[in-house]
Structure 1
């Protein structure tokens, strides 16, 4: 179907209305990632070795379907745009799969429990990939200049942090105290239903307002193999992707293990995770304004490198914490570093997308972001291996078989592993240069479309 006549300028899409979409996309997946170990391993008794196998299989499947979904989005041509149809379909599907994920019958065990976990974990991640590839692709399209883009990105990260307060910090209270107990599953199912309804409403509200730029949807539909080959030959795809993965995997470990860190390492009820998660998220939200100002003064690249270093240092303090007060004190620094990464990481990726469009004459944000998503999907493999390592080194296999020192086990999981990853990322970031801000449609005539490179400051 052909596109209609000239659309309103994409800049007319209010930044807050685009940004609020992050609230809807974040609630489901962060409840899943933050509670899946507690729900399946500690309460239902799924063995951590089986959990690790599922995460490895999931990563292989996701590595295949992720770029395919992004490519299909790039090739979509409707009068509603390229991205909106996928957002409107993906939102209710993710909500339904999340509810099913947390509705596993308590009578399930063994292979039955493993299959239920595997099927719905993979489906949830597939629909989450569909949503985020399309939602993320709108950022460089709607806001081509870095100052506008930085503001929109900070707003959406702020909404994400609000969602994290709800889906991570408040969830343990809702699931184990308000709607259920620490040993039952009913609270998780009720909470998932509430979050699913909220997420669908917010994503639909955002998608209906997004004013896509018709110039980004060229008549020629990009070919999959040619596009994939071009991306794989792009040096920045590998350097930025792998470095960003160090941050993403580290935070995935933190978000998935913080409830059990509170239970075993600090010796407190799971509900107390609310205070630790809450302070980290609040500091992160407050820091977005400061980090955005640093971006305006020093640029995204310099700020990204600084944020990486701050985040790496913060995990040392968290390892040394002995009670809730000292853990919260360390959490302040974690929040500061995390805030800096939220404010800058997507800006670095957007620079790479701009350069690709300028060089190749095609806007393939969906495929490119899905390809970048491959690195973030390493989260599942690494968290699975990290959790399995607790069984090998510390004897923690499940809530029924926690081993001799689960407290130390989860200090390693939550602090040491993330420190190593972010330290590697901080060093690698020092050697990365990204293209300067020059959107494709603003390239001067007669150039080859390849932006210059921003050198270290």
Structure 2
């Protein structure tokens, strides 16, 4: 991509899209268990089965959507048409997921839940396969890529403030109560409209490389073979899966951790989640500097270690104050992962494009997304284990060890996953930024105003 073409897309315009793509899916992940299991009484075993099916479907549609995106050739680019389709579908699916008719119960409730959670999953996959694929294409040099990535992670954290920290307060105090579901419906409508507006703003402002229209379309079987025979894909993908699954458990369980393990009302989750997010934001600039001075691989490995250690104080917390202090430690490692994980993955995409002469970021990123989407199966399995080990089956049947159940779910399981990810990261060779070397050999024009 020429520098003139890259200059047409400002990093902030691209980065703000992360705010829009993050709000609906984080509302879903952060409140779905509370909504369906604790409030509507869906059995955790049924919930677990649906989430395993969710993960299987995700494993199929992610690479397919990425492949179709790579082969798309339109006057508006490869990625923009998919973003324009996925955004409204995700918005509608999110609203429906939290607008369950009062008459639904039993099998009807299960069907409603399964239908709309899978619709949300598919549209989220469509958005993220295309949005993420734009990062290495628009910003080939690691310096500017790290800035764009940090900006988008900052917007993601802002989205977490809105969709996680504010949600318990909005759903239980502003629009509803601790024991009713109406607040979730109103909140879902507000978040979906906001997300749709932001995604459309981002999509209409990005400028893809017009030279791609003349490139050959990547073949399906050849691409699959290249991906499956690439050892770095498996190694880095497995490490990323550990990180994403660990944070997925925290995201889905923190409200019930507050209710059962800390003995507080769900609304207090706002303070715990807010502190973790603010700590993450505060350390993001520092981690970005580490990336630019020591490189993404060093940062990635260090962040993994700190993330695993950060769960120990959270496990030992016994009230809101100690949980908030523990959240500060957790935010350090989480911030480092946000600053480095996507950059490590992008290097694999760069290497493939340089070695094979074909740009197929969509299917490669979607294939990496398969590892992240395994988090759905991990969540389902971990949730089902609470019934087996602690007797927690639902809000209607929480058993006598709900405190220990949610402490293990939010702290012990994620710590084990993060520790495993750290081991894999230290054993994995990360490729150089090949695209940066190629880009640096070309003449460079002055950057656009406002760019770092």
Q: 2:158 aligns with which of 155, 158, 162?
A: 162
Shift of 1:215: 2.9
Deviates more, 1:258-267 or 1:180-189: 180-189
Residue 356 in structure 1 maps to residue 329 in structure 2: no
- Give unmatched runs, 5+ long, in structure 1: 1-5, 446-457
C-alpha separation in 2, matches of 1:300 and 1:194: 36
Shift of 1:217: 4.2
Secondary structure class of the residue paired with 1:18: helix
What aligned pairs does 1:12-411 form with structure 2 within 5 A after superposition? 12-411=8-407
Using a 3 Å threshold, how does the CA distance of structure 1 residues 444 and 176 change in structure 2: closer, same or farther?
closer
Shift of 1:218: 4.2
Shift of 1:112: 0.6
C-alpha separation in 2, matches of 1:221 and 1:104: 43
**Equivalent pair of 1:7/1:213 in contact (CA under 8 Å):** no
C-alpha separation in 1, matches of 2:435 and 2:63: 23
Shift of 1:438: 2.0
Using a 3 Å threshold, how does the CA distance of structure 1 residues 65 and 405 change in structure 2: closer, same or farther?
same
Shift of 1:443: 7.5
Q: Which residue of 1 is the match for residue 446 of structure 2? A: none
C-alpha separation in 2, matches of 1:62 and 1:403: 32
Q: How many residues align?
A: 441
C-alpha separation in 1, matches of 2:363 and 2:145: 20
Shift of 1:219: 3.3
C-alpha separation in 1, matches of 2:117 and 2:315: 30
Shift of 1:412: 0.3
Secondary structure class of the residue paired with 1:430: helix
User: 1:291-328, CA deviations, whole angstroms, 9 ceiling, x for partnerless residues?
Assistant: 00011111110011000000000101100000000001
C-alpha separation in 2, matches of 1:225 and 1:63: 17
C-alpha separation in 2, matches of 1:161 and 1:444: 32
Shift of 1:444: 10
C-alpha separation in 1, matches of 2:270 and 2:377: 27
Shift of 1:7: 10
C-alpha separation in 2, matches of 1:389 and 1:52: 9
User: 1:360-408, CA deviations, whole angstroms, 9 ceiling, x for partnerless residues?
Assistant: 1111000001000100110110100000000000000000000111011
RMSD between superposed Cα atoms in Å? 1.5
C-alpha separation in 1, matches of 2:397 and 2:353: 52
Secondary structure class of the residue paired with 2:124: helix
**Equivalent pair of 2:65/2:366 in contact (CA under 8 Å):** yes
Shift of 1:428: 1.3
User: 1:158-186, CA deviations, whole angstroms, 9 ceiling, x for partnerless residues?
Assistant: 00000000000101111111111111111
C-alpha separation in 1, matches of 2:386 and 2:102: 25
C-alpha separation in 2, matches of 1:414 and 1:441: 42
C-alpha separation in 2, matches of 1:291 and 1:107: 50
Shift of 1:440: 7.7
Shift of 1:60: 1.0
Q: Report the TM-score when normalising by structure 1.
A: 0.94
Secondary structure class of the residue paired with 1:392: helix
**Equivalent pair of 1:175/1:188 in contact (CA under 8 Å):** yes
**Equivalent pair of 1:10/1:143 in contact (CA under 8 Å):** yes
Q: Report the TM-score when normalising by structure 2.
A: 0.95
**Equivalent pair of 2:29/2:251 in contact (CA under 8 Å):** yes
C-alpha separation in 2, matches of 1:15 and 1:222: 27
C-alpha separation in 1, matches of 2:56 and 2:221: 18
Q: Which residue of 2 is the match for residue 449 of structure 1? A: none
